[in-house]
Amino acid sequence: MARGGSARLKGADGFEFGAYRVLPEDARHGGLVLIQEIFGVTAHIRELCDSFAEEGYEVIAPSLYDRLEPGFEADYAPEAMAKAVRYSQETPWDQVEGDLNAAIAALNGPVFVTGFCWGGTASWLAACRCPGVAAVSSFYGRRIPELLAETPKCPTILHFGKTDASIPMETVDQIAEAHPDLPIHLYDAGHGFVSDRSRDYQPDAARLARLRTLQLFQRSSGVRAEV
């Protein structure tokens, strides 16, 4: 199984922040920026990076809260959750944009982006603002309505759980109405259904969403699959 290590990146403001980086062990299919949940670059996020590296991607997961607390990782305990929520609220989108551009620039193309929870919204931002992105797969981005006036500039798909208490279907409908041509996939699942640490973990939904993500990346890579 692929295993990565730490890396350093420099944001648009000159701030140097950490990242988890992992190389594919076999043929390389592209680069992938994988964006954290509100909990930081946790063991779950690192495992996701490793799993995409096994699919042939060089993966970077930037630590986007480093200005607030370097190397922050949180679990589901109330105090940790409260801090994670506060950090997500105190991290401005313009700053995230600059940090994501640094992560994208550190990878050779084609470069893809995926993100989960808070990172699902950040991946939407990358689709709309960051040059050099071939495709984006966004998972349960609750705050996408904050950026709804912006339009993805690359192939983008969204994933939401039908029973996600934090993202009512009215929110999903709002996104669909603003961007009617955007593929939105719905699953019989709640929030965080990809994470096996979450009480809403739904393995069937996670597998299907991952398959759709990999298919999107392959279609957008500019490389024809072997028959």
Kindly report, residue by residue over 3-57, the tens digit of the pLDDT. Answer: 789 999 999 999 999 999 999 988 899 999 999 999 999 999 999 999 999 999 9
Neighbouring residues of 140: CB distance < 8 A, sequence distance ≥ 6? 116, 117, 120, 159, 160, 161, 164, 167, 191, 192, 193
H-assigned helices in 28-92: 43-54, 78-89
Average pLDDT estimate for 128-148: 97
Active site residue 164: yes
* Residue 179 known to be catalytic: no
Q: What pTM does this model have? A: 0.95
pLDDT tier for residue 226 given thresholds of 50, 70 and 90: very low
- 49 is an active site residue: no
Catalytic annotation, pick one of 29, 128, 130, 164: 164
Does 1 score more than 70 pLDDT?
A: no
Pairing relationship of beta strands 57-62 and 16-22 according to DSSP bridges: antiparallel
* Catalytic site residue from 49, 117, 130, 154: 117
At the fourth CATH level, the homologous superfamily of domain 5-219 is Alpha/Beta hydrolase fold, catalytic domain (3.40.50.1820)
Instruction: Return mean pLDDT, the chain.
Output: 94
Mean pLDDT of 171-180: 97
Single-letter amino acid code for the residue at 203: P
Phi, psi of 210 (to 5 degrees): -65, -45
- How would residue 162 be classed by pLDDT, with cut points 50, 70 and 90? very high
Kindly name the residue from 29, 44, 159, 191 that is annotated as catalytic.
Answer: 191
Strand pairing category for 57-62 and 111-116: unpaired
